[in-house]
Amino acid sequence: MTVVLWLVAHSVAFFAHEFAHTFTALALGWKSNPFDLDWGHPSLMNLVLHVDVDENVNYQPIFASGHAIAAGVIALAGSALGNMAVSLGLGICLFALARRRDLSVLACFAYWLVVMSVGNLISYVPLRVFTSHADMHTVQPGFGWTPQQVLLFVGIPYLVAVLWFFLRFQPRALAWLFPRSLARRYAMVLFTSATVFGFFCLGGTSGYGVTSHQLSVAFMLVLAPLSLVLGALLTRARQLF
């Protein structure tokens, strides 16, 4: 069941990201059909993980017509609107609803939706800030920012969300989901760390330049173990108190 919920949550967070791009482009007059994504190849990996799916927004005419800020807004909308606001907010609301109505399966799905949202934030800032293409590269000329300014203006709110997840949401959520099984909570901590600092960091190891590769590897080698230790300690503390 965990694997199924993981995959569904990934899809929800993924399409929240992509449709945030397209609906923002529609609102700003740069796309006529928000459902016109580049759906990629009909492969199993694309069907399950959507590895070839893209928002299909052409940024060149937006920049060429002098609407750089619009391009920046559309590019930033994927993670800021789609993941930070929509999928993360939805996950938090669903988890609260599931707790009130004692719906453990819905709560587990909501937990993974929050995980996927946080993983998406990390995968874009900081991992894909220093690149020659993709969303954060488009954000920079759109707003006239340097990569360092992206880290400051976008990275700080994203960092707050990530810290909130690991320090507050994860231990409390797992304590409610598995109140009588410390082993299951530990297993969820392991799976969560593998998702956030494995699955989402793996994408930055190729195709985004040297800096992105180095940051991604560092996150996998350093932050993944740290998140495991922190998660285990906080999970244990929730059981004691």
What are the pLDDT digits (tens) for 129-172? 999 899 999 999 999 999 999 999 999 999 999 999 999 999 99
For the chain, what are the domain ranges? 2-176
Only one residue has tokens 């006529």, namely 32
With 90 as the cut, is the pLDDT of residue 198 above it? yes
With 90 as the cut, is the pLDDT of residue 240 above it? no
Q: What is the 3-state secondary structure (H, E, C) of the chain?
A: CHHHHHHHHHHHHHHHHHHHHHHHHHHCCCCCCCCCCECCCCCHHHHHHCCCCECCCCCHHHHHCCCHHHHHHHHHHHHHHHHHHHHHHHHHHHHHHHHHHCCHHHHHHHHHHHHHHHHHHHHHCCCCCCCCCCHHHHHHHHHCCCHHHHHHHCHHHHHHHHHHHHHHHHHHHHHHHCCCCHHHHHHHHHHHHHHHHHHHHHHHHCCCCHHHHHHHHHHHHHHHHHHHHHHHHHHHHHHHC
For residue 180, what pLDDT band results from cuts at 50, 70 and 90?
very high
What are the pLDDT digits (tens) for 15-62? 999 999 999 999 999 999 999 999 999 999 999 999 999 999 999 999
For residue 225, what pLDDT band results from cuts at 50, 70 and 90?
very high
pLDDT at 236: 87
What gap in Å lies between CA 223 and CA 241, rounded to an integer?
26
Asked if 158 contacts 121 with a C-beta cutoff of 8 angstroms, the reply is: yes
The residues pairing with 38 across neighbouring beta strands, listed in sequence order, are 54
Q: What are phi and psi of 54, to 5 degrees?
A: -140, 155
Q: Is the bond preceding 141 in cis, omega lying within 30 degrees of 0?
A: no
- Over range 54-74, report the average pLDDT: 98
- The pTM of this model reads 0.96
What gap in Å lies between CA 216 and CA 201, rounded to an integer?
5
What are the pLDDT digits (tens) for 75-126? 999 999 999 999 999 999 999 999 999 999 999 999 999 999 999 999 999 9
CA separation, residue 200 to residues 97, 115, 183 (Å):
27, 10, 25
pLDDT at 12: 98
pLDDT at 237: 85
With 80 as the cut, is the pLDDT of residue 241 above it? no
For residue 238, what pLDDT band results from cuts at 50, 70 and 90?
confident
